[in-house]
Structure 1
Amino acid sequence: MDSSLKEAILRQREMLTGLLIKPMRNLAKTCAGLMNDRAAMEALLQRMLPAIDYCQHLFVLDANGVQFTDNITHEGHDARHYGRDRSQRPYMQDIIATDFKLSDAYISRYNKRPSLTAMQVIRDENFNVIGFLGADYDLRDLPATQGVYQEPAAWRQIKGDPAIRSGIFLQERVQSQMDAHMDDVLALMVSLICGYGVFHGKLHFSSSRASIWLVNDPFRYRILSIDELQDPDILLTLPPQKYIDQAIVPIGDIEPIFEMLRQLRFADETIYLRAGSLNICNGMVSLNFSCDGSHYIRYDEFLGKGLDFWFGAAASNDAKCAPCG
């Protein structure tokens, strides 16, 4: 997992812990006096559930981690979990040292929903552990405590199928229809991006097709066949549109980027580009090579690397060349 994504998850968990820990701790203090009275404990949980924001259901375990109550839900009692041994569940591990623990997100066993479990130690007046208070949350109900995670712009390399990589030097590029009409295809893609509102375009060189996303209809992609990619008449079906303000890729770099994709397609007959895309809003170029190695790289860094970088090692049959990762 990318380090910035890990950091975003950590910040989110810290914020959720701050939101949940106080009401759980307060309820656990009240629970301490009812550990010998199941009916009274369940009545307490039923009464307090509406006061625990976003909680789906509450339950209490005994000191051995065995469930002492039904699950108490907004609809009433769910007796399926009474007597369940939860002592080995991940959210129970090392909880004594912290008194409160928020589980990692998981898909719930019964409802198949993205969930979290919060656990709070219940202690008696002598600070002995006498039980555990649990609360389950549906991730979809929890408040958004920060903005949407932003994809980092750093170059990322991802290795593909080992079966493809192991046989890379036994294969050779086969001339596709797109290869034979590359001038027309690239000219059309540049026109679509620069003047017709396409913000993300991907060329599938080996299968001779393209996929495009439009600014004024971003939730649907369109597939263009090789026949359509050779026919400028398709521009008549789209309203002309000035180069979008959201783009971070300078309009003058669009043609050089696609020209570089052409060079990566034809530079080597064994390790060659199968597909490449450009998103002008996040500025990222994606590349997928015949060795099934994939790269995500900023447009300016992409333009700054020549063919020697990509294929200098490939020419010597080095399986660790840049495209393969």
Structure 2
Amino acid sequence: MRYSWKDSIYLQREELARRLREPLARLAERCASAQGDRDALNAVLCDGFPGIPYCKYLYVVGADGAQLSDNVSSVGIVPGHYARDRSQRPYMKETVPAWGFLLSDAYISLYAHRPSLTALQAIRSGPYTIGYLGADFDLRNLPVTSELYEEPGYWRQIKGDPAIRNTLFQQTRVESPMDRNHEQALSILEELLTERGIFQCQIHFSSGQATIWVADDPFRYRILDHEALTDPDICLVFPRRPYPENALIPQADIARVLDTMRTLRMADENIYLRMASINTFNGVVSLTFSCDGSHYMRYDELLQKDIAFWFGNAA
């Protein structure tokens, strides 16, 4: 099953809430009997802290958000937080559901400036909510329980800098070194992508360079400048590698994709391709135009669109 990043967040939060709800509810019941007594609350929190997995701090606040206990951590009481007003913190502004448990959205912590989230469990006396047990979590300490999401394959368009869009027709394409030698440069890139283990390539048409990632050393990028892209000898630097069987772009379509990018670069003087990328494994290409708009789409969708789609019938 393919998960989006939002799906992965939902599954991760659901699992974390499942692990926290019962131990926090039990500890909140113990806090109810100590409410109004700072030392008694601290003692309850210190005793209950080991039972709250992954927790960084425990504390109790009143219904108005004022802190009624000290912070309690794995090393004991952390002074300096008693009577602190938490009412304006992001988690205190969320609505606690009727069942009394809230797992907040992630936020940036006030002191450490790190991604964090807070669980709130209502402390009740009869039918009344008299405060909340708070548990803070540093996202670094939380386990990842959901699968890593995959990028969607559908076409996405992202608008860029409005200042560039507003002056689009006041600028024209200036011939770059790659424009003057585009056939040779793209032939070299085709060889690298199909025969030399390059799986990701960003082509900077306007500056005449390409950034590449090699399957043999995927964590580092390499930059091919104009000189390298006009010298077929550059292919000798990279050993031959079989085209990967699990690549989503067929080997035979690499040349067609690159040729489409060349067409989009040269078709119009005002609206032209500035940068493009191709990734053989996820089958997606990106296109960034002179208007600073970017498009992300599957390679086959790109190949299905003719020039009129991008520039109108006038093209």
- TM-score of the superposition, structure 1-length normalised? 0.92
Q: Distance between the aligned counterparts of 1:181 and 1:8, measured in 2? A: 45
Pair 1:149–1:96, CA change in 2 (3 A): closer
Report the alpha carbon displacement of residue 22 of structure 1 after superposing the two structures with TM: 1.1
Q: Distance between the aligned counterparts of 2:130 and 2:306, measured in 1? A: 67
Asked whether the equivalents of residues 96 and 121 of structure 1 are also in contact (C-alpha less than 8 Å), the reply is no
Q: Distance between the aligned counterparts of 1:67 and 1:129, measured in 2? A: 15
Aligned match of 2:236: 236
Q: Distance between the aligned counterparts of 1:143 and 1:119, measured in 2? A: 20
Report the alpha carbon displacement of residue 80 of structure 1 after superposing the two structures with TM: 2.2
Aligned match of 1:41: 41
Q: Deviations over 1:25-51 (max 9, x none)?
A: 111011111113211210121121112
Q: Distance between the aligned counterparts of 2:184 and 2:101, measured in 1? A: 63
Provide structure 2 residue ranges, at least 5 long, that are not aligned to the other structure.
Answer: none
Aligned match of 1:266: 266
Report the alpha carbon displacement of residue 225 of structure 1 after superposing the two structures with TM: 0.4
Q: Which amino acid aligns with 1:153?
A: G
Aligned match of 1:309: 309
Aligned match of 2:162: 162
Pair 1:190–1:96, CA change in 2 (3 A): closer
Q: Distance between the aligned counterparts of 1:89 and 1:54, measured in 2? A: 21
Aligned match of 1:18: 18
Q: Distance between the aligned counterparts of 1:4 and 1:219, measured in 2? A: 24
Number of corresponding residues: 312
Aligned match of 2:205: 205
SS at match of 2:113: coil
Q: Deviations over 1:86-127 (max 9, x none)?
A: 233332332263411111111111112211100000012x23
SS at match of 2:207: coil
1:57-72 → structure 2 map (5 Å cutoff): 57-72=57-72
Q: Distance between the aligned counterparts of 2:111 and 2:150, measured in 1? A: 32
Q: Distance between the aligned counterparts of 1:107 and 1:91, measured in 2? A: 11
Higher mean alpha-carbon deviation, 83-92 vs 286-295, is at 83-92
Q: Deviations over 1:257-301 (max 9, x none)?
A: 000001000000110000111101000010000010100010000
Q: Distance between the aligned counterparts of 2:266 and 2:95, measured in 1? A: 57
Report the alpha carbon displacement of residue 52 of structure 1 after superposing the two structures with TM: 0.8
Residue 186 (str. 1) matches residue 182 (str. 2): no
1:63-82 → structure 2 map (5 Å cutoff): 63-82=63-82
Asked whether the equivalents of residues 38 and 70 of structure 2 are also in contact (C-alpha less than 8 Å), the reply is no
Aligned match of 1:95: 96
Q: Distance between the aligned counterparts of 1:96 and 1:215, measured in 2? A: 49
Asked whether the equivalents of residues 286 and 297 of structure 2 are also in contact (C-alpha less than 8 Å), the reply is yes
Asked whether the equivalents of residues 115 and 139 of structure 2 are also in contact (C-alpha less than 8 Å), the reply is yes
Higher mean alpha-carbon deviation, 87-96 vs 15-24, is at 87-96
Q: Which amino acid aligns with 1:12?
A: Q
- TM-score of the superposition, structure 2-length normalised? 0.95
Aligned match of 1:214: 214
Aligned match of 1:323: none
Q: Distance between the aligned counterparts of 1:163 and 1:103, measured in 2? A: 37
Q: Distance between the aligned counterparts of 1:106 and 1:64, measured in 2? A: 21
Pair 1:63–1:168, CA change in 2 (3 A): closer
Q: Distance between the aligned counterparts of 1:107 and 1:270, measured in 2? A: 42
Q: Distance between the aligned counterparts of 2:309 and 2:139, measured in 1? A: 45
Spell out structure 1 runs of 4+ moving beyond 3 A.
none
